[in-house]
Amino acid sequence: MDKYFNRRTLEPITEEITPTDHDILRHGGTSSNIERLPSRVQRSKLSSPDARQKIEDLAYEVSYLKAEMQWEKENKQIFLQFHQRMFDIFRAMEDALTQTCIRMEESEKRYLDLWDIEEPSPAGGFI
């Protein structure tokens, strides 16, 4: 049975493959992370296709690199939008807190005026 299988050791993977890279590979695609794996680099060194095949391979590589760049660009835009939304939320919370403090001070002043009590020193707080 061993004569039917080519037994050889596999090269170690020195780079991390992301779950996204794994999904791309499962669906027949490739990514720059996958292509930089030592086993892929070694395989490409051993084979020497003709010029036409090299051109086709390079055209394919350019197409998936363009797709990968577009994916990165879209992700960057998504995260920039997320960052802006988080900043807006923070600003809204900060404004709400400021308004709450102002309204509480006004409420305290009205309460003290109701009982004809003088305002405490500026170091004092709410009631």
Domain range holding 42? 17-48
Q: Is residue 28 part of a domain?
A: yes
Give pLDDT, residue 54. Answer: 87
Q: Is residue 127 part of a domain?
A: no
The mean pLDDT value of the chain amounts to: 83
How many Å apart are CA 21 and CA 23, to the nearest integer?
5
| Greater model confidence, 69 or 121 | 69
State the total domains in the chain: 1
- Evaluate whether 37 touches 15 at the Cβ level (below 8 Å): yes
- Predicted TM-score (pTM) of this structure: 0.52
Cα–Cα distance measured from residue 21 to residue 68, given in angstroms and rounded to the nearest whole number: 11
| 42 found inside a domain | yes
